[in-house]
Amino acid sequence: MKRERLDKVLANMGWGTRKEVKQLVKQGLVTVNGNAVADPGQHVIPEQDDIAVDGHPLAYRRWIYIMLNKPSGVISATEDNRHRTVVDLLPLEWANRVHPVGRLDIDTEGLLLLTNDGQLSHNLLSPKKKVEKEYYARIAGIVQPEHVRRFAEGITLDDGYVTLPAKLEILSAAAVSEVNVTITEGKFHQVKRMFAALGLKVVYLKRIRMGPLVLDETLVPGAYRELTDAELAALKGEDR
């Protein structure tokens, strides 16, 4: 197991900045294996050593995997000067350590994976892997079988890029149609631009699946939970 500086571990777990952690140490509030710490730069094995701050034990895990039902109005980033971010929805001990895997537009809801596992993130986002992303959408206008064919062939976007073949499933065709869309890319505003190229407008968009990971519909917008062992195993199988 990897040794790390104590002040870095505590800062990452939400106990403050490195400077604030040093003050906690100076006040004698930090213990390792029952002994008060004098040096904030002391090296520890966080998964193995018993670390406590003011008597509160530190529950440390190296890897974190969170499923979030992203609400509209927050951005898929770790920090922003104007908008609330997805990590702002999480407790500090997670928020300081994780990043979103990919991004959803500010007005798009649904499944977002947050983790500190950079290798998993890279593999799930790699264009070579062609990991499926499935969305539920409401469309202003009647979606027709011809549109299903066009999606299957690939859509030419406004910048001339031709998307990879995508799956369009019509759930209902009306003045506001309901559809499921599955893509294997992640171009900027891709689903919205694909429909725009057909003269249709997306009025609501929600991601419901990424690879084998399906949104837990018991999570209300803004709610989150850790992945189950089965979900994580399936994701790691997808990233091979």
d(CA 215, CA 113): 10
Annotation marks residue 105 as catalytic = yes
Q: Which alpha helices (H) appear in the chain, and where do they start and end?
A: 6-12, 18-26, 92-95, 118-125, 145-153, 190-196, 229-238
Q: Could you tell me which of 169, 205, 208, 167 has the C-alpha nearest to residue 185? A: 167
Question: Annotated catalytic residue: which of 105, 107, 216, 239?
Answer: 105
Q: How far is CA 119 from CA 168, 236, 240, in A?
A: 30, 10, 11
d(CA 66, CA 125): 16
Q: Could you tell me which of 125, 141, 99, 96 has the C-alpha nearest to residue 211? A: 125
Q: How many CB atoms lie within 10 A of CB 19?
A: 10
Catalytic site residues? 105
